[in-house]
Amino acid sequence: MSIVLILLTLAASFALTAVLAPIFIPYLRKMKFGQSIREEGPESHMKKAGTPTMGGLIFMTAIVISTLAISLYTDLFTTQTLVLLLVFVGFGAVGFLDDFIKVVMKRNLGLTSLQKLIGQILLSVAAFFLLQLGPFDTTVAIPFTNSTIDLGIFYVIFIIFWLVGFSNAVNLSDGLDGLVSGTASIAFAAFGILAVLYGQYDTALFAFAVTGALLGFLIFNSNPAKIFMGDTGSLALGGALAMLSIILKQELLLLLVGIIFVIETLSVIIQVISFKSTGKRIFKMSPIHHHFELSGWSEQKVVYVFWTVGFIAACIVLFVEVI
Per-residue pLDDT of 2-24, as tens digits, reads 788 999 999 999 999 999 999 99
Inter-residue contact 204 to 212 (CB < 8 Å): no
Evaluate whether residue 107 is within a structural domain.
yes
Mean pLDDT of 127-151: 90
Q: Which domain holds residue 162?
A: 3-252
Number of domains observed in the structure of the chain: 1
Q: Fill in the amino acid letter for 33.
A: F
pLDDT digits (tens, 9 = 90+) for 227-269: 999 999 999 999 999 999 999 999 999 999 999 999 999 999 9
Evaluate whether residue 308 is within a structural domain.
no
Cα distance between residue 226 and residue 51, in whole Å: 6
Evaluate whether residue 15 is within a structural domain.
yes
Evaluate whether residue 215 is within a structural domain.
yes
Mean pLDDT of 165-179: 95
Evaluate whether residue 209 is within a structural domain.
yes
Evaluate whether residue 123 is within a structural domain.
yes
pTM of the entire predicted model: 0.94
Evaluate whether residue 310 is within a structural domain.
no
Mean pLDDT of 119-123: 97
Mean pLDDT of 167-179: 95
Cα distance between residue 293 and residue 311, in whole Å: 21
Cα distance between residue 276 and residue 99, in whole Å: 29
pLDDT at 84 (0 to 100): 97
Share of the chain above pLDDT 70, in %: 93
Cα distance between residue 28 and residue 48, in whole Å: 15
What are the Cα distances from residue 176, in Å, to 95, 224, 241, 251, 261? 18, 10, 20, 27, 13
pLDDT at 41 (0 to 100): 57
Evaluate whether residue 304 is within a structural domain.
no
SS3 state at 138 = coil
pLDDT digits (tens, 9 = 90+) for 81-114: 999 999 999 999 999 999 888 887 766 667 888 9
